[in-house]
Structure 1
Amino acid sequence: MSIHSVARNQSHLVWDNSIQPILRIKSGDTVKFDCLDASNGQITPEVTVESVASLVFSNLDQVNGPIFVEDAQPGDTLKVEVLSMKTADWGWSACIPGFGLLSDEFLEPALKIWKLNTKEGYAYFNEEKGIKIPLNPFAGEMGVAQKEKGPFSTIPPYNTGGNIDTKHVTAGATLYLPVEVEGALFSMGDGHAAQGDGGTAIETPIVAELRLSVLKDRPYTRTPHFKTPAINVSNEEYYCTTGIEPDLREASRAALRHMIQYLVQEYDLDPVEAYMLCSVAGDLRMHEVVDMPNYLVGMMMPSSIFSHRRS
């Protein structure tokens, strides 16, 4: 099968089926993507927090493509095999005013520039305190064009993919997307070095290799489906805080808020540090959704990222 390349500047800022494809490939071909970070190059290792406050939001979350896959027709499924995913040696996380689960509580911009040890697969959140995050590279944005005329923002997820921000779609995983237009018009971007379930990430440029194939026998693919590589969480311990509310979002906010309070008290982090740590390392999970009127959502923090244990 052929191998194709997509350059950093071959990107677009909205989902729109009228955008002309940058290349055409056969089903089963491999495409190598070279993608800038989600800031579209506005944040670099040298910038300060002032750059967060001055971000041009209309330039965020660009995606590279689109790719026209021959034989892909509406009603088909695009099979996206993630062959490899490599980050840069740096990344960033930020509190961006107006964004995030607790955006009404964290009003000031904040920025953390990470040094990524890609050879050994980790990054220190705080080396002095021994808080170390394992790297798990993936692309937050993978999607195909919608049948409706655009433009549609790249910020949210859709039934056709987009900003799915799912940490399990890493190297070795397979993503399945419903095709709504001829050629599928696949695009991707928004590289992440690590992220918790439900959080935001260590943003970073990525180089990814994907194999794109058309499947004709999956009429049940109406939203993104995915198959993970083997996930090994053996011998991991977690500390979990919970939120119990009649609204799932409010239960999630409460669980996150309680974890921030725990990290501030037990690990001597300031609230902004704790908020960022939850985003890149903590997993939000629905634990109880059947006994009305309340939902129980947990924020699970892996103990292995800390050099010392707490009771």
Structure 2
Amino acid sequence: MSIHSVKRSQCHLAWDNSITPILRVKSGDTVSFDCLDASNGQITPTTATSALAALDIATLDQVNGPIYIETAQPGDTLQVDILDVVTAEWGWTGVLPGFGLLADEFPEPYLKIWDLPAGAHHAWFDKMKGIKVPLRPFAGEMGVALREKGPHSTIPPYRTGGNVDTKFLTKGTTLYLPVEVEGALFSTGDGHATQGDGEVCGSAIETPMKITVRLSVVKNKPYVKTPHFSTHKGVDDPNGYYCTTGVGPDIREAARDAVRHMIRTLGAEHGLSSEEAYVLCSVAADLRMHEVVDMPNYVIGLMMPKSIFGHKSD
């Protein structure tokens, strides 16, 4: 299969199915993206907190692409195998006025610059106080174009992906996205060195990033109507997780959708009745608040441990 490259300058600021693709690739091809951070290069390792007042909010959360995948048609699923994720050697976390779960309580800007040495597994939050955090790099933005015409902001997540800000989309994870337009039109960006569930202050450790993915068209997963993902072994469970999501402006309804999507998935992939699947969701799966700050939509995931499947009876 072919390998393709996308430059930092090959980016856009809205999900729009009328944008001309920068590449046309075959199903199964690999694409490497060189992405700026979510500030679109406005924040650097020498930026001071005072400079945030001049930040151009309209240019935040750009994504690189779009990529047209041959044979992708509405109703198909785009399988995104995340092959590699490499951060820059620095990053930033900021409190930006108007952003975050407690935006009304934190109106003043704040900026922290992080040191991210190559190959490091942790980053110091405060050496003097003995606080460091594990690094778990991933791209916050991964998505395909919506069927609805016109530009759609890259700030919120959608049923087709976008700013899902889900910390499990690390190297080795496979993401599944519903295709709504011919060619899918995949884009990615918003590099994160690490993030907690929810991204409560509105930013993770934001960083420039190189992301390599394999893009494949799947014809036999019509039940994928929102982002699904499958983590690899050892990610919070011996065999990893399969996760379905609900995406929308109401947290409870997004949670209900995440469960509905898992019920359909368990029926299609494991032959369970709806009642059996519903009960299994209750006793084995975990609801997670993946994204709660990029309005108007939330991302709620239902994570099913893969270790419960494939056992032989005694």
- Where on the TM-score scale, by shorter chain, does this alignment land: which range? 0.7 to 0.9
Distance 1:148 1:184 in 2: 13
Which one-letter code corresponds to 2:46 in the other structure? E
Q: Which residue of 2 aligns with 1:157?
A: 157
Partner Cα separation in structure 2 for residue 232 and residue 76 of structure 1:
27
- Residues 232-256 of structure 1, C-alpha deviation per residue, up to 9 Å, x if partnerless? 558xxxxxxxxxxxx969xxxxxxx
Please name the residue that 1:223 is paired with.
Answer: 226
Structure 1 contact 192–203 (Cα < 8 Å) conserved: yes
CA distance in 2, matches of 1:223, 1:248: 15
Deviation at 1:118, TM superposition (A): 3.0
- Structure 2 match to 1:137: 137
Q: What is the CA-CA distance between 1:230 and the residue it aligns to?
A: 2.3
CA distance in 1, matches of 2:160, 2:120: 35
Output the amino acid matched with 1:125.
Answer: F
Q: Could you say which residue in structure 1 is the equivalent of 2:69?
A: 69
> Per the alignment, in what secondary structure is the counterpart of residue 139 of structure 2?
strand
1:141 Cα offset (Å): 0.2
Matches within 5 A, 1:33-52: 33-52=33-52
Paired position in structure 2 for 1:197: 197
Give the direction of change, closer, same or farther, for the CA distance of 1:232–1:168 in structure 2 (3 Å limit).
Answer: closer
Cα separation, 2, equivalents of 1:52 and 1:164: 24
Write the distance in 1 (CA, Å) between the matches of 2:11 and 2:82.
Answer: 19
Q: C-alpha separation between the residues in 2 aligned to 1:111 and 1:38?
A: 14
Partner of 2:20: 20
Q: Which amino acid aligns with 2:92?
A: W
Q: Deviations over 1:242-297 (max 9, x none)?
A: xxxxx969xxxxxxxxxxxxxxxxxxxxxxxxxxxxxxxxxx957xxxxxxxxxxx
Q: Distance in 2 between matches of 1:5 and 1:125?
A: 34
**Residue number in structure 2 paired with 1:5:** 5
1: CA distance between counterparts of 2:82 and 2:68? Answer: 18
TM-score by length of 1: 0.75
Q: Within 1, Cα distance between the matches of 2:82 and 2:251?
A: 31
Amino acid at match of 2:233: A
Which residue number in structure 2 is paired with residue 84 of structure 1?
84
Aligned amino acid, residue 175 of structure 1: L
Gaps of 5+ in 2: 238-249, 253-286, 290-314
CA distance in 1, matches of 2:288, 2:156: 20
How far the C-alpha of 1:120 sits from its partner, in A, is 2.5
Q: CA 1:102 to 1:20, structure 2 compared with 1: closer, same or farther past 3 Å?
A: same
Question: For 1:231 and 1:38, how far apart are their aligned partners in 2?
Answer: 29
Secondary structure at the residue paired with 2:129?
A: coil
**What CA distance in whole angstroms lies between the structure 2 residues aligned with 1:202 and 1:41?**
14
SS of 1:50's partner is helix
Q: Are the equivalent residues in 2 in contact too, given 1:86–1:208 (CA < 8 A)?
A: yes
Q: TM-score, normalised by structure 2?
A: 0.74
The 5 Å alignment of 1:1-311 reads: 1-199=1-199, 200-233=203-236
Aligned to 2:310: none
Letter of the aligned partner of 1:210 in structure 2? Answer: V
- Could you tell me how far 1:71 is from its partner in structure 2? 0.1
- 1:176–1:224 CA contact under 8 A, matched in 2: yes
The 10-residue stretch of structure 1 (1-10 or 199-208) with the greater mean CA deviation from structure 2? 199-208
Number of residue equivalences:
240
Residue aligned with 1:186, SS? strand
CA distance in 2, matches of 1:285, 1:2: 36
CA separation of 1:42 and 1:168: change in aligned 2, threshold 3 A: same
Q: Distance in 1 between matches of 2:234 and 2:224?
A: 23
1:212-234, Cα deviation, whole Å (9 max, x unpaired): 00000111010000001224558
2:220 and 2:50 mapped to 1: Cα distance?
51
Question: Do 1:42 and 1:51's aligned partners in 2 also have CA atoms closer than 8 Å?
Answer: no
Aligned to 2:193, the other structure's residue is in SS state strand
Q: Secondary structure at the match of 1:51?
A: helix
Task: State the distance in 1 between where 2:43 and 2:165 align.
Answer: 20
Whole-angstrom CA distance in 2 between matches of 1:6 and 1:50: 33
